[in-house]
Structure 1
Amino acid sequence: MRINVLQHTPNEGPGMIADWAHAHGHTMYVYHPYQFGVLPTADETEMLVILGGPMSPNDDLPWIKQERRLIQQLLDRNVPLFGACYGAQQIVKTLGYPVTKAPAKEVGWAPVYRQSTVIPGIPASLSVLHWHEEMFAVPDEATLLFSSDRVANQGFVFNHRVVGLQFHLEPAADNVREMVVNDGRYIAGSALKQTTAEILQTPVPSQNQQVLNTILDYITTE
């Protein structure tokens, strides 16, 4: 399977999604539309991963709108989609629902709580990395998948083929370090009140890779 990845900032890459892809023998192509203005076509996309970034789906940028046109084409074709943070917001915006400021800016490690058992094998709670201050509305046709203590809409599943998460399951330890050393200033004002040292000292839970794998298996399996 050809997995096309849309990456939106140098320090937020596919992380452990690449591990899953390689373990299944899939081929992964990473695009940087914010820099090069290049996107895959729908015809060459068997799965699309839309990663996080510092921009908002509400920004009036041509490449952001072009991404949504691609997402719509893939939704129409029932192609598997996985969105993380900004990526999840892009999917929701494509479906016609709003992206707004969250009740609290969340940057750091904090739990999320499972709200549905539609995807089997997900534990009742997870400790995950948050890096956001906006949130999506959950589309009427979707199922709320996760909530946190401060932001109710933390994840959704749509039509068995689409999952969007407001938080990050994909970073391994190296990826967390990359995010913190390059974007540590973003932590200011976070309701989680964690320092960069505290974020770096928190081990990435091993179950995050397991849950990520479970979600990716779910959207790519009949």
Structure 2
Amino acid sequence: MGVALRDARRSVTSWCRRHTIGGDGTVAAVRRGQRSGEPGLLSREQELDLIDALRGVHPDEFDLDEELWTRQSLTSLIQRRYDRTMDTGTVGAYLRAWGLGPREPRERACGLCVGAVEHWVRTEYPAITRAAQEHLAEVYWLGRVRLRGTMPAADVVSAVSSRGRVRFMITTPSVDPPLPRDFVLRLSGAEERTVHVIVDGSWPRNEWPRRLPRRIAMHPLPSCGRAGASRPGRLGPAA
């Protein structure tokens, strides 16, 4: 009976994670009424090349003054790499197609966890926002989506602030990939700002980076695979 219970719990946790990761990101992003490759847009080949160029690489490696990728730094890279002028609104359309559009807290949960997430938002989240305001800290909602149409596959790890600013990186997924430590550290920036980070069910606690600086407070969003996930750790709707 104990083995059967463990297997059932493992299956539920795996399903929850797959749902949370989603898979709703996709290439090629185009505006309504336009086709990929038209003026002001990237061709599909350019978009795939761009995704490959971003894998595991941060803006400072391209001499861009950003800790993580944003609409602004991606716009600059597109201009430099493809000699194509593109406004940040169009770049934002690509990011939304990649799965970085706005998501309410309940949308970050699988069907089995929605009630727990809504309860958490009512009971736990207000204390986090008060702590962030007291310390002039930023609140980020962390998650990931898997892009369709790339080879090899690509995961977009994103952090969306309570003000709606998106920061992200692209990785090549492996079996049970941990939450990238470098990504979390870069949220704090060179100024070492205090940040509160809400982590969705994409990563169980044992895949979080350990021994983070005290200025980085991690909070788990309730998930099927977490015991006691509603208790804050050491977060606003997100995008």
Give the TM-score normalised by the residue count of structure 2: 0.25
Larger relative helix fraction: 2
Larger relative strand fraction: 1
Structure whose alpha-carbon radius of gyration is higher? 2
Which of structures 1 and 2 has the larger relative contact order (alpha carbons within 8 angstroms, sep 6+)?
Answer: 2
Give the TM-score normalised by the residue count of structure 1: 0.27
